A and B are shown apart, each in its own frame.
Chain A
C-alpha cells in the first residue's frame, strides 16, 4: 500500500516552476529519501504535502484517499507531520509546554498535566529520545531541540513524518542516534519522508530514493538498485566546468596571525570555554572538529570581539576578522538587502553610494562568485541557500580581514556550491590568510585543513598537524577519522 501518491503536482511562483508535474509514490512503512540540490524543489513539494502551499495543478492520495489540503491543519488532521529545518520552539517554555502548545489536553479549565506527562514520557521511552520534559528549551542542545520537534509530531500522532534535512545540524555520532530513532519509527509502522543532501545517509537509511532537479523528478530507485555514480549524476546533472580544483600551495615559513592562550568564559554561570588554546598561522587552515555546542559559537564571538568577558590572553589586541557564521539567515546577512547592499556593509571605501555603484558591485559578485539570481535588485531572501552562502562568503573573502572564520561554510548547500566554496577557501589560504574552519562535516574538515583540533567541552583535546601528509599515508584516512571521532565524543 502507498502512504502517499503524488500525482502530476505542479507548483509555480510567478514564472518560476518549483515543481513540474511530479509523480511518484511513497510506500507505507518505508523510509523514502528525496534528494536534490538547493532549489531543486524538494522543500516546495514537502510544503505542498504539509498543506503550507496549495499546488497549481495535480493532487495527492494519502493512503489511497484523494486529498486537497487548504492549510497545515488539514495535513495535521491527515496525520502528516513535518520537521522543519528551522525549529519553532519557545525558548522560555519547557519541553512539555512546547509540545502541547496548540494541542492541550484539559480537564475542564485546567490542563491535565499528569496525563500529558505520562503520555509524553511513554513516547520518549518508546522512541528512546532521552528528553527531560521539564527542561526549558533554552537549556537544550540543538539535537535535543530537534527531538522536541519530533516529540511534537509524535504527540500529534503523525503517521507520515517529513524530515527536512534533519541531519544538517547533527554531528556524525548524533546522526547515528537519529537513524536509530528513524528505524524505530519504521518498526512502529510509520512512514518517513527524508530530505537530505548527503548521499552516504541515503545509502544507510533509504528504502527508496527520488531525485529532483530543477523542479522535475529525474531519478527513482529502490534500495537494491542504488548506486552512487548514477545517483550523483542525477543530482548534479551537468557538472559546472567552473569547478577548478585549486591546488594547495606549499607554505614553508609560517607567521603567527593570532594566539589565544588559556581562554575561559562563563555564560549564565555555565563554563562554555575552559582553558581554550589556539594559534592561527598565515596561509594555513586550522580545522576545529567537535560535536556542536562544545563552545564553537563562543570561540567565534571571542575572535570577532563580540564577547569580551573572557579570561586569558588574546594576541594581537586588535584584529580584523571576517566570519561566515553558522546561521546564515540570522547572523550572516541582511535578508532585505540586495547582494550589493550586503557587500557594502563591509567592503566599501567612501561614504556615499548610489544605485549604479551598487549594481556594479552586485554584478561583480554574481560573475566572480557564480551567484545565480533572476533579478540583480532582488533581496537576498529570494536567493536559494547556496547562493546566499556564496554572497556571504564573497563579502568576507573580499574584505581586508587578516583572519577568516568559516563556520559550517557548506551546511545545507548543494554539491556544486560546496565544491565552489571549498575551492575558494583554499584560494584564500594560498593568499596567505589565516583561516579557522569550524565544521561538523568531517570530510570537509579533512579535505581542507592543514591542522585539525578536536574541541570538547570548551577545550582543545588534541591537535593533529600536517593533516594532508597524514591523509597521504596508506590507511591514514581511516586512522585519522577513527581517532578524531572518538575524541569528539570524549571517549579518549
Chain B
C-alpha cells in the first residue's frame, strides 16, 4: 500500500505540472500563439526522431547529476545555492588534470580526473559548511556569494593560464580520452551527442537514492535536516554530517563536467554550465529531493530545454525560463495546499 507521504508527493507534483501547463497555455494565448500548435511542435521535435530523444537525454544528464548532489544537501536542510560555482570549479579541475595527463590510457586518466574534480568541488562546498559551523552564517548567503568568487577565479585561471589563444576554452582532449557517444552503437541516436555519461547519471541517482534512504548515514542526514537539536541529543555529530553532506553534494556536481568535457565537447569552456546549477535546484525541488524522482524531473526539464530551442522561431526561448520558474512556484504553493488537505479535518 502506498504511504500517505507518497500519495501526497505524487498528488502535489502532478498538480504542479498541470498548473504550470495551464498557466503556460494562458501565456501563449495572451501572446497570440496557438498553444496546441506550440505543444505539438515541442512534442514532435522531442519524440519524433532519435536525434530529438538523444538531445533531450543529453540535456537531462547534467541535471540528474547536479540534482543528485543538491538532494544530499537539501535532505540535511542545507539549502545549497552554490552548485553553479561548485560544478564549475570541479569541471575545470577535471579538464586541466585530464589535459596534463594526455598520453596516458583512458582507464588511468578518467578515474584520476574524476576524483580530482570531485575533490575540488567538494572543497568549494566545504567553505560554506565551515562558515556555518563556526559562525552560524546561513549557507544560503555564503553559497550564493561563493558562486561569484569561484566563477571569478575559474575565469581568471582559464583565461590567463589555460585557454587556447583568443578563445575562452581549454585545449581539446585527445580523442581516445573521450567517453563514447551512444550514436556509435545505436543508429537511432545519429547526430546526437548523447554519451555514456547518461548511464553514469542513472547509476548515480540509484546510488544516491540508496545512500539517502537505505543507509544509516542517510537516516542521520535526514534526521539532522528534520530536527538538528534532537539529533544532537541523540548523539549524532551534526557538524560531521553537515561537512559530509556539503562535501559529497558539491563533489557530485563536478561530474557534470564528465558529460560536457569528456562526453560532448572535449574541452572546458567558460560559461558551459549556462546556469545549470540553478536549474538543478528547480529539478530537485520538483522531485521532492528524491533521486529517482530527479531522473524524471530532469527529463521534463530536458524536454523543456530542447523543446524550447525548437520552437524558438514561434515563441521566444525565454518562455521556457518562465515555465521553469512556474514549476517552482507551483510546487511550493501546491505543497501547502495538499498538506492542508491531508491534515486531520477540524
Contacts and interface: CB of A to CB of B under 8 A. Distances in A.
Contact of B234 (A330, A345, A354): A345
Interface string A372-404: 000001000000000000000001000100000
Given A334-B223, A345-B236, A353-B219, A377 B3 contact: yes
A54 B345 CA distance: 9
A242 interface: no
A306 interface: yes
A261 B235 CA distance: 24
Contacts of B24: none
B231 interface: yes
Among B223, B232, B234, B344, max chain A CB count under 10 A is at: B234
B227 A304 contact: no
Contacts of A13: 344
A384 to B, nearest CB: 15
Given A348-B216, A351-B217, A304 B233 contact: yes
Nearest to A331: B233
A337 B226 contact: yes
B215 A334 contact: no
Contacts of B226: 334-337
Contacts of B230: 325, 330-334
A345 B233 contact: no
A14 interface: yes
A233 interface: no
B229 interface: yes
Contact of A330 (B217, B219, B222, B227): B227
Interface in A443-488: none
A330 B214 contact: no
Contacts of A395: 234
B8 interface: no
A334 B227 contact: yes
A353 B219 CA distance: 9
B134 interface: no
Contacts of A325: 230, 233
B346 interface: yes
Contact of A345 (B214, B223, B344): B223
Interface string A117-147: 0000000000000000000000000000000
A323 B233 CA distance: 7
A353 B212 CA distance: 11
Contacts of A352: 210, 214-216
A335 B226 CA distance: 8
B220 A345 contact: yes
Interface string B288-306: 0000000000000000000
A60 to B, nearest CB: 16
Contacts of B234: 345-346, 395
A306 B234 CA distance: 11
A316 to B, nearest CB: 17
A353 B216 contact: yes
A354 B216 CA distance: 10
Contacts of B217: 351
Contacts of A306: 232-233
A369 interface: no
Given A345-B223, A351-B217, A332 B233 contact: yes
Interface string A93-114: 0000000000000000000000
A53 B346 contact: yes
Contacts of B227: 330, 333-335
B344 A344 contact: no
Interface in B217-255: 217, 219-220, 222-223, 226-227, 229-236
Interface string B269-285: 00000000000000000
Contacts of A53: 346
A229 interface: no
Nearest to B220: A345
Contacts of B220: 345
A337 B223 contact: yes
Interface string A320-361: 011101000011111111000100111010111110000000
A260 interface: no
A52 interface: yes
A351 B231 contact: no
Contacts of A14: 344
Given A330-B227, A334-B227, A335-B226, A350 B233 contact: no
Among B219, B226, B232, B235, max chain A CB count under 10 A is at: B235
Contacts of B232: 304, 306, 331
B216 A351 contact: yes
B14 to A, nearest CB: 23
A48 to B, nearest CB: 10
Interface string B193-208: 0000000000000000
A325 B220 CA distance: 19
A233 to B, nearest CB: 32
Interface string B73-107: 00000000000000000000000000000000000
A54 B219 contact: no
Given A334-B226, A345-B219, A354 B214 contact: yes
A351 B222 CA distance: 15
Nearest to B3: A377
Contacts of B346: 52-54
A447 B237 CA distance: 35
Contacts of A337: 219, 223, 226
B292 to A, nearest CB: 16
24 contacts: A304-B235, A306-B232, A322-B235, A325-B230, A330-B230, A331-B233, A334-B226, A334-B230, A337-B219, A337-B223, A344-B216, A345-B220, A345-B235, A345-B236, A346-B234, A346-B235, A348-B216, A351-B216, A352-B216, A353-B214, A353-B219, A354-B214, A395-B234, A399-B235
Interface of A: 13-14, 52-54, 304, 306, 321-323, 325, 330-337, 341, 344-346, 348, 350-354, 377, 395, 399
- Give the 6 A-B CB pairs with smallest separation, nearest first: A331-B233, A334-B223, A13-B344, A54-B346, A334-B226, A325-B233
Interface of B: 3, 210, 214-217, 219-220, 222-223, 226-227, 229-236, 344, 346
Given A344-B219, A352-B214, 11 more contacts: A306-B232, A331-B232, A332-B233, A333-B230, A334-B226, A334-B231, A337-B219, A345-B220, A345-B236, A346-B234, A351-B215
